[in-house]
Amino acid sequence: MASNTKRSNVLPGFGLTLGFTLAYLGIVVLIPISTIFFKTFTLTWPQFWAAVASPRTIAAYRLSFSASIAGALVNSVFGFIVAWSLVRYEFPGKSLIDVMVDLPFALPTSVAGITLTAIYASNGWIGRYLAPLGIKVAYTPLGVAVALTFVGLPFVVRTIQPVLEDLDQEYEEAAATLGASRLQTFVLVIAPALIPALLTGFALAFARALGEYGSVVFISGNMPMHTEVVPLLIMSKLEQFDYAGATAIAVVMLTVSFLILLGVNVLQRWSSRRLTA
Amino acid sequence: MSIELRNIAKKFGDFVAVDNLNLHIETGELVALLGLSGSGKTTLLRIIAGLETPDTGEVLFHGEDASDVSVRERKVGFVFQHYALFRHMTVFENVAFGLRVIPRRARPAEAAIARRVHELLKLVQLDFLADRYPSQLSGGQRQRVALARTLAVEPKVLLLDEPFGALDAKVRQELRRWLRRLHDEIKITSVFVTHDQEEALELANRIVVMNQGRIEQIGSAEEVYHHPANAFVYNFLGNVNLFHGRIENGRVFLGDTAVELENTHAHAHPETGKAVLYVRPHLLEIVMKPNGKQTFPATVKSINPAGPQVKIELVAEWGDMVQVEIDHERYQALHLEPGANVFLRPKEQKLFVYSI
Amino acid sequence: MVRIALITIAMVFVALFIFIPVIAVFAEALRKGVGAYFAAIANPEARAAIRLTLMTAAIAVPLNVTFGIAASWAIARFDFPGKQTLLTLIDIPFSVSPVISGMLFVLLLGVRAPLGGFLAAHGIRVIFAEPGIVLATLFVTFPLAARELIPIMQAVGSEEEEAAIVLGAGGWQMFFRVTIPNVKWGLLYGLVLCNARAMGEFGAVSVVSGHIQGHTNTMPLYVEILYNDFQFAAAFAVSSLLTMLAIATLIAKRFLERRVVPVKQAQDELAVKVAA
């Protein structure tokens, strides 16, 4: 019987643990988060608008969004291929790749930043081969996209991988015995099952890229209007003690992040309902 | 120790798990709570243990209200459905747990604990497995370790939740007999929950048939099986054929046939109403010739002669499927073939009538 | 054919973004020779950064793991209104940019803020000092342990704990003898992830540190300072330590996953058996 879903009331510690949880949550997260909204209320509309809609800010938004989308798209395509290879095929070095895919989670972003810069600078390991082709990566928007691809890489792989593992090869075999071609099987059987996970992975990679600072700050060159992403803009406002301006921009960013998080939640609820129905 | 439940009720949200229930269990009895899943039997067991608090009502142990006695102090032994053996402890440590958590002042010495644990492991015939971990045991062995662990704290009451639920058929049979003998030996007041009627009938002194949080009948195996209190109990205990018909002026009609039946056990027999007739498969007789209004016609559909009884499936004249079990001797004599037209005579039946 | 093409693409992609950077870190670190490498690491400022990084993790990790245990106990073992909201609130730091995370504490505890001003008047500096670094680290690593422990606590189930109570165990006896042993691998897993992030956080810490050399630098911050100072080999030497920490984290993670996942799977199989 459903002994797991029933909550017993003989276990001790509910008051203690919930009390501690709420108090700690309040001190570490809720109070700090609320300050930014209180701070926003002290701004006047013109102040807010000046910070949020200045040409420099608009340029930063444009770069952040386009580079984050580019990175997330690249990750969706190649992350899918990586996940597929890891789940479906055996090849030498497979488990090494499987372990190392999470590196962007574990590597400090400043290390990632200086390393990518060193590799893609025009005298770097990869940059020196791209330079003769007229492709400049470091200190250009392309470099920003490369860094954001790096930080988002694990998300798509790690959201698709478990879904692929659950997707029994029997489904494909069943489709094949029913006369479907390989392409038909993929389009009709595999793709629909993966789309929610792919969208979730895309959204997570995008959200992470949007807020990324450390790995971008070195490779971008930080030229206002050209290679300055939003977190960098916030940082430079803070360094000039323009807290009002930084707050206004941060509130817009936070709102976007929360909306993405909400979207991901809705997406996951939708897909889990569809799968369990 | 005797157990008394008074007006116990428990809801989970809108779901009524136990509905104003009263029950008395004598010292030394072995009682089965029998019902389908969702009938409230496990909840009731957990309430007795103190693992669940009833919304209303009280639990009395030996005549004393135990409502304010915590689980720790109730001195009940509870064997969980999946045994809940501590997976990181050896069999020995599992059995010793209840002794080791006694406050230091009252705790037995290490040597005494070891002696007691081995004694219990001998009782459940598992002394040779003392150093194994639960994951290395078979289902039946885990069950017996769980029992030994429970008995270590010398409970006054033993409560078992679906004690044989997770075992395969053969092991279940053996353990059932073993538990019966153990109970005869230690005479501890025991209550177990089961959805398996055979298990309840074979093992318990008394059976409490539960349905939707209420007690449908309490009685010995003999009583609930041969004298079921209502349609639910009759239907629940054993295979049964259901014939939907009607009763008019005291005569029972099945389809268009008026059947006059002997030996009908009916409750509160109104003259007119909807009727449901219950007949167990082995209480239907197949005859080749009609016998007045005591029989009704049917056609043989299929025959399964494997097993101690021959199982025959027929279709009654009015369309209901009928299961009949006869012995092989009778089957040989009848020369039945699928498609044969025969007559059925209920030897004993139960009639439950619902007013329209 | 398709198989080989896909594997090749996957390998090239992972090589480009993962393996080449890792190799580059060590190659750049050793560019000026082994002597320079060890000199860079043994430098007093480097040692100060290492010390502050370890200290920060030593405070943040136990606090957040304790929180993770408390939160997972309350959430996995009891029903209460607002549970779903609580889960969402716990996730907040995941969706906040590191720069904004740091900024929150500047706004709250900076010298110009009421609370920060009050503390400063009493001689307590939080922002541009170690307490700020610890607070920012606490914030960014806040959900990690809880997020790992909640599903494991749920998967393990409460039957063994109930059994302990029925057998007469007290709350703490149950906790230390049954609960903790049952979730120990998940606990370690959460601890490893939390530690990696605590030692490696850059953005949030960068905002609150104020870059006082040799005083409020953690290792990731020190890497930035060396790099901006054109001391590339030294920057990569310190980076190589952080990279080794990252790789060790990934290996530990893999090792622990093998021990955590079977617990969940066994529980799933059990659930299937019961349902059937």
- Put simply, the answer to whether A17 touches C70 (Cβ < 8 Å) is yes
The per-residue pLDDT for range B57-109, each reduced to its tens digit, is 999 998 888 888 888 888 899 999 889 999 999 999 999 999 999 998 989 99
Q: Has the ipTM of the complex gone over 0.85?
A: yes
Residue type, C236: F
Task: State the pLDDT at residue A179.
Answer: 77
How far B97 CA lies from chain C's nearest CA (Å)?
7
Which among C165, C169, C181 has the least Cβ separation from residue B88? C181
The pLDDT score that the predictor gives to residue C82 is 92
Q: Answer yes or no: is pLDDT of C269 > 80.
A: no
- Cα–Cα distance list, C125 to C114, C165, C210, C240 (Å): 13, 48, 12, 32
Q: Is C182 on the interface with B (CB under 8 A)?
A: yes
Q: How many CB atoms lie within 10 A of CB C232?
A: 16
Is pLDDT above 70 for C182?
Answer: yes
**For residue C120, what pLDDT is reported?**
85
Burial class (CB within 10 angstroms; exposed 0-12, middle 13-18, buried 19+) of C55: middle
Answer whether C168 sits within 8 Å of B153, measured CB to CB: yes
Which subunits have 3 or more CB–CB pairs within 8 Å of chain A?
A: B, C
Q: Which of C164, C182, C273 sits opposite B97 (nearest CB)?
A: C164
| Cα C47 to Cα C69: distance, rounded to the nearest angstrom | 33
Each residue's pLDDT tens digit, B48-64: 999 988 999 999 998 88
Of B10-14, C68-72, C85-89, give the range with the top mean pLDDT: C68-72
Q: Which of A4, A10, A14 to mutate to test the interface with B (most CBs of B within 10 A)?
A: A10
Alpha carbon distance, N-terminus to C-terminus of chain C: 42
Q: What is the mean pLDDT of residues C158-164?
A: 93
Are the C-beta atoms of residues B54 and B8 closer than 8 Å to each other?
Answer: yes
Going by pLDDT thresholds of 50, 70 and 90, the confidence category of residue A2 is very low
Give the mean pLDDT of A201-230. 92
Q: Could you give the percent of chain A with pLDDT greater than 90?
A: 61
Instruction: Choose from C80, C167, C180 for mutation: most chain B CBs within 10 A.
Output: C167
Q: Report residue C237's pLDDT band, with 50, 70 and 90 as the boundaries.
A: very high
Give the pLDDT score at A4.
Answer: 37
For residue B108, the distance in angstroms to the closest alpha carbon of chain A comes to 26
In the prediction, which pLDDT does C265 show?
A: 55
For residue A18, the distance in angstroms to the closest alpha carbon of chain B comes to 21
Q: What letter represents residue B14's amino acid?
A: D
Question: In angstroms, rounded to a whole number, what is the distance separating the alpha carbons of residues C49 and B177?
Answer: 70
pLDDT recorded at residue A1? 34
pLDDT in tens, C94-114: 889 999 999 999 999 987 888
| pLDDT value of residue A204 | 92
pLDDT tens, A25-68? 999 999 999 999 888 888 889 889 988 999 999 999 999 999 99
Residue percentage of chain C with pLDDT more than 70? 92
- Subunits next to B (3 or more Cβ pairs <8 Å) are A, C
- Does B42 sit within 8 Å of A8, measured CB to CB? no
Q: Which amino acid is at C130?
A: E
**Number of other CB atoms surrounding residue C244 within 10 Å:** 13
What separation, in Å, do the N-terminal and C-terminal C-alpha atoms of chain A show? 21
Q: Does A32 touch chain C (CB under 8 A)?
A: yes
C window 193-212, beta carbon within 8 A of A: 196, 199-203, 206-207
Highest average pLDDT, of A267-271, B84-88, B289-293, C263-267, comes from B84-88
B-chain CB neighbours of A6 within 8 Å are 12
Digit-by-digit pLDDT tens for chain B (356 residues) are: 899 999 999 998 888 999 999 999 999 999 999 998 889 999 999 999 999 889 999 999 988 888 888 888 888 999 998 899 999 999 999 999 999 999 989 899 999 999 999 999 998 889 999 999 999 999 889 999 999 999 998 999 999 999 888 788 888 888 888 888 889 888 899 999 999 888 898 899 999 999 999 999 999 998 988 888 888 888 888 788 888 877 777 677 777 666 666 555 555 556 677 777 788 888 888 888 887 777 888 999 999 988 888 999 999 888 888 999 999 988 888 888 898 899 888 877 776 665 44
Question: CA of C78 to nearest chain B CA: how many angstroms apart?
Answer: 13
Candidates A173, A161, A198; CA nearest to A86 is: A161
Distance from CA of C225 to the nearest CA of A (A): 10
List, as one string, the DSSP characters of B151-176: HHT--SEEEEESTTTTS-HHHHHHHH
Q: C178 CB near a chain B CB, below 8 Å? A: yes
CB pairs under 8 A between B and C: 59
For C12-23, write each residue's pLDDT tens digit: 999 999 999 999
Rg of chain C over Cα atoms, rounded to whole angstroms, equals 23
User: In chain B, whose CA is at the least distance from the CA of C173?
Assistant: B101
Can you tell me the mean pLDDT for A1-7?
A: 39
Q: Tell me the chain B residues in contact with residue C170 when contact means C-beta distances shorter than 8 Å.
A: 72, 101
| Interval A175-181 mean pLDDT | 79
Answer with the residue of higher pLDDT: B355 or A23.
A23
* The pLDDT value given to residue C193: 93
| B50 contacts A6? CB cut-off 8 A | no
Ranges assigned E (strand) in chain C: none
Instruction: List Cβ neighbours of A225 (8 Å cut-off, separation of 6 or more).
Output: A55, A56, A59
pLDDT band at A146 (very low <50, low <70, confident <90, very high): very high
pLDDT value, residue C59: 97
Over residues C202-213, mean pLDDT: 83
**Mutate which: C19, C83, C100, vs A, most A CBs within 10 A:** C100
Nearest CA among B346, B354, B352 for reference residue B257: B346
Question: Which of B227-231, B233-237, C69-73, C85-89 reaches the highest mean pLDDT?
Answer: C69-73
What is the C-alpha radius of gyration for chain B, rounded to an integer number of angstroms? 25
Find chain A residues with C-beta within 8 A of C63's C-beta.
24
Structure tokens at A221: 């060159």
CA distance to partner chain A, nearest, from residue B193 (Å): 11
Size of interface A-C (CB pairs under 8 A): 278
Distance (Å, whole) CA B25 – CA C182: 37
CA distance, residue A153 to nearest chain C CA (Å): 8
pLDDT of residue B316: 87
Name the band, by pLDDT with cuts 50, 70 and 90, for residue C56.
very high
* Residue B260: per-residue pLDDT: 65
Task: Specify whether the CB–CB gap between B175 and B138 falls below 8 A.
Answer: no
CB contact under 8 A, A3 and B42: yes
Residue C165 and residue B150: Cβ atoms within 8 Å?
Answer: no
B101/C173 touch (CB, cutoff 8 Å), yes or no: yes
User: Which amino acid is located at A213 in the chain?
Assistant: Y
The kind and range of the H/E element at B325 are strand B321-326
Residues 159-188 of chain B with CB under 8 A from chain A are 161-162
**Chain C: closest CA distance from residue A39 (Å):** 8
Instruction: Judge whether residue A3 has pLDDT over 50.
Output: no
Q: Which residues of B touch A10 (CB under 8 A)?
A: 50-52, 70-71
Q: Mean pLDDT lowest for which of A65-69, A183-187, B346-350, C144-148?
A: B346-350
Average pLDDT over residues C198-222: 86
Task: Say how far apart CA A171 and CA B205 lie, in whole Å.
Answer: 52
Tell me whether residues B46 and A1 touch, CB distance under 8 A.
no
Q: What is the pLDDT of residue C264?
A: 54
| pLDDT tens readout for residues C35-55 | 999 999 999 999 999 999 999
